[in-house]
Chains A and B, each alone.
Chain A
Amino acid sequence: DSGVTQTPKHLITATGQRVTLRCSPRSGDLSVYWYQQSLDQGLQFLIQYYNGEERAKGNILERFSAQQFPDLHSELNLSSLELGDSALYFCASSVTPGTGSADTQYFGPGTRLTVL
């Protein structure tokens, strides 16, 4: 158990719908990262927050947005869903963002999104 929690574990929805994925980082971690894992694209970085502020963006679609709240939990919002959005969405957290030992990322169990 990494200490990072994600809800829901599974989500099945229809094309065109909107969903919200939730992540609670490990206690004391200020930085949250979102990744998408699909068969064709592999593990892709989406977006990063540090202490409530957006710090870095990857190949995140305009239909996707995220935020980090004052209690440091984060939500990833996916709208106008398409079949190709079906994937595993992981949240990871670290104490600080960077490359030092305090920046090791711990991944949550993921949310499996299926768009029908």
Chain B
Amino acid sequence: GQQVMQIPQYQHVQEGEDFTTYCNSSTTLSNIQWYKQRPGGHPVFLIQLVKSGEVKKQKRLTFQFGEAKKNSSLHITATQTTDVGTYFCAVTDSWGKLQFGAGTQVVVTP
């Protein structure tokens, strides 16, 4: 099945700074989804990208799907303490089965 590599594994960010997490695949992806899991919580769906070169924004979060549909990124601007958590990318097959990346654990320093 499709596998996605996510980097970095950990990210320490000063409050107010920007950061980016990346999701890469060796094969072309049909779609990619992003989830956020707060400490002690459950994964929460953020967004799905389907089209080549697609860019979507949610407030301070910008999601991008690469032109070749082999990579994706999540960029957060002006990080806040509420951004703490682990961000996962995931790919789905036609039946909706999710295959998750390893996640990027984000720690925000006030």
Contact = CB atoms under 8 A, between A and B. Distances in A.
A48 interface: yes
A48 B95 contact: yes
B55 interface: no
Contacts, number: 65
B47 to A, nearest CB: 10
A33 B95 CA distance: 11
B contact residues, range: 20 to 34
B25 to A, nearest CB: 16
A106 B93 CA distance: 17
Contacts of A101: 48
**Contact residues of B: prevailing secondary structure:** loop
Contact of B42 (A33, A97, A107): A107
B42 A99 contact: no
B42 A98 contact: no
Contacts of B101: 42
29 contacts: A2-B42, A2-B44, A33-B98, A42-B100, A42-B103, A43-B90, A43-B98, A43-B100, A43-B103, A44-B100, A45-B99, A48-B97, A56-B95, A58-B97, A92-B43, A96-B96, A98-B92, A98-B96, A99-B30, A101-B48, A103-B92, A104-B45, A104-B48, A105-B98, A106-B45, A107-B42, A107-B44, A109-B42, A110-B42
Which 6 pairs, one residue from A and one from B, show the smallest C-beta to C-beta distance? A97-B96, A43-B100, A107-B42, A97-B95, A107-B43, A56-B97
